[in-house]
Amino acid sequence: MSDKDNDFLKLLKEQDSAQSDDLDLQAHLQDVKPLTQDKVAQNTPLLDKRTADLRKEAAQKMPEKELDSASSAFVPMVEPNDVLEYRRPGVQPYILRKLRQGEYSEADFIDLHGKTIEKAYDMVMHFLTFAKQQEFRCILIIHGKGMRQKQKALMKSYVAHWLRQIPEVLAFHSAPEWKGGTGAVMVILKKGEKASAENREQYARR
């Protein structure tokens, strides 16, 4: 047998050995299941792409110093015709009476009709921050009664829940009938730094 024939036989043996190794490897792997890559949720029901875009847009319009955020969890539901009424400890009861009777004039207002809860949250927080910077004492928020909605008074319930959590809000009461009645709320805010300084100066002169 020539050297050429020996080389050919040697090559055939190497190929048989390689095929045998491949078969053994396949036999070992046939019971192995591929790993499934864990998927990380990019969005949540409350923060989908549209909501994220709305928050981004609102954040760009926000003043540099914002109010503390309010939670939207565990919102107590109210009825469409319920009267909203709240005052912080230390706030005199007559404040609510004057709000109810319309003795305070609002410096500005917003209307939340047609807005989603997420958009309304941004609008309310932006409005409160703006009102604080402008040193408004009384503002009006029109939330509607939600009588025709599937879940009654949803927006109204959320607005009342948010306002209770904002330290700058001293009191609020459903508006008098000619300003929206139980479909709107009048809010009294803390005095701004300028107004507080003027009061201190007046007392010092006395």
| Domain assignment of residue 119, yes or no | yes
CA-based nearest residue to 125, from 196, 34, 55: 55
Q: How confident is the model at residue 175 (pLDDT cuts 50, 70, 90)?
A: very high
What is the structure's pLDDT at 13? 55
Alpha-carbon span 172 to 175, nearest angstrom: 9
| Domain assignment of residue 126, yes or no | yes
| Domain assignment of residue 42, yes or no | no
At 70-98, the pLDDT tens digits run: 898 899 999 999 999 999 999 999 999 99
Over residues 146-155, the mean pLDDT reads 93
| Domain assignment of residue 171, yes or no | yes
Tell whether the model's pLDDT for residue 126 goes beyond 50: yes
At 13-63, the pLDDT tens digits run: 555 554 444 444 444 445 544 443 333 333 333 334 444 444 444 444 444
Q: What is the pTM of this model?
A: 0.64
| Domain assignment of residue 34, yes or no | no
At 157-167, the pLDDT tens digits run: 999 999 999 99
Residue 141, Cβ neighbours under 10 Å: how many? 27
| Domain assignment of residue 174, yes or no | yes
* Residue 149 structure tokens: 């909605």
Q: How confident is the model at residue 125 (pLDDT cuts 50, 70, 90)?
A: very high
| Domain assignment of residue 125, yes or no | yes
Domain of 128, in residue numbers: 85-198
What order do you get walking across the sheet with 138-142 strand by strand? 85-87, 169-174, 184-189, 138-142, 109-111
How many separate domains does the chain show? 1
What is the structure's pLDDT at 32? 46
What is the structure's pLDDT at 37? 35
CATH number at residue 99: 3.30.1370.110
Over residues 157-184, the mean pLDDT reads 97
* Residue 14 structure tokens: 């190497």
| Domain assignment of residue 73, yes or no | no
Q: Are 125 and 67 within 8 A, CB to CB?
A: yes
Over residues 179-206, the mean pLDDT reads 75
**What mean pLDDT, rounded, does the chain reach?**
77
Alpha-carbon span 131 to 110, nearest angstrom: 11
Q: How confident is the model at residue 112 (pLDDT cuts 50, 70, 90)?
A: very high
Alpha-carbon span 49 to 52, nearest angstrom: 5
